[in-house]
Amino acid sequence: MYATPEQITAANKASVHALFAVATAQFAAFERLSALNFNATKTAFEDSLSQAKAVLSVKDAQELMKLTAASAQPTMEKAIAYSRSVYELATQTQAEMTQLSEAQATEISKTVVSLLDKLTTNAPAGSNFGVAAVKSAMSAANSAYDSFTKVVKQATNMADANVTATTAAVVKKSGKKKAA
């Protein structure tokens, strides 16, 4: 059994499409991150300007201390919001990459199974055991991949819950310090 030029062309096309899908997802993530960074930088610059103007209008040290203390909480909240946005973007991008890799793995598995089926029809007598062993190994590999994917998803969900809880605790703690 030999691969035909059409089969080689189809395989190459599928590989190029998969590569383009990954590249498109990565560029979209980069675009979102760039926009997030631009907005954060713009906001920080505007806040710095207004803080500088406020500092210039201060008349004594007591007023300067109040101004500094008053600006700390909003700055902390903006930093936490920024880090949360970056984390969400990374999580979203990771989910997209996982989805693309799962689709690619499924397609490869189908191709290998199809190839094994064709090989079985053209295989010499007595080779059924070897083909069955390869199919069994493929099934075990797919099962292991599925288990690994589930573990990664659970770990991602747990990390997401931990980040959310930690962020909430930091915001709550910094709010208590401000009130005190």
Q: What is the pLDDT at residue 89? A: 93
In order, the DSSP letters of 27-89 are HHHHHHHHHHHHHHHHHHHHHHHHHHHHHHT--SHHHHHHHHHHHHHHHHHHHHHHHHHHHHH
pTM greater than 0.75:
no
pLDDT digits (tens, 9 = 90+) for 52-74: 999 999 899 999 899 888 888 88
Q: Residue 26: which residues within 8 A CB-CB, separation 6 or more? A: 93
Give the distance, in angstroms, between the CA of residue 59 and the centroid of all CA atoms in the same chain. 49
**Higher per-residue confidence, 34 vs 157:** 34
2 confidence band (pLDDT: 50, 70, 90): low
pLDDT digits (tens, 9 = 90+) for 119-129: 777 767 777 77
| Cα 36 from Cα 41, distance rounded (Å) | 9
136 confidence band (pLDDT: 50, 70, 90): confident
Q: How far is CA 51 from CA 46, 66, 69, 74, 95, in A?
A: 9, 12, 12, 12, 39
Q: What is the pLDDT at residue 85? A: 93
Report whether pLDDT(174) > 70: no
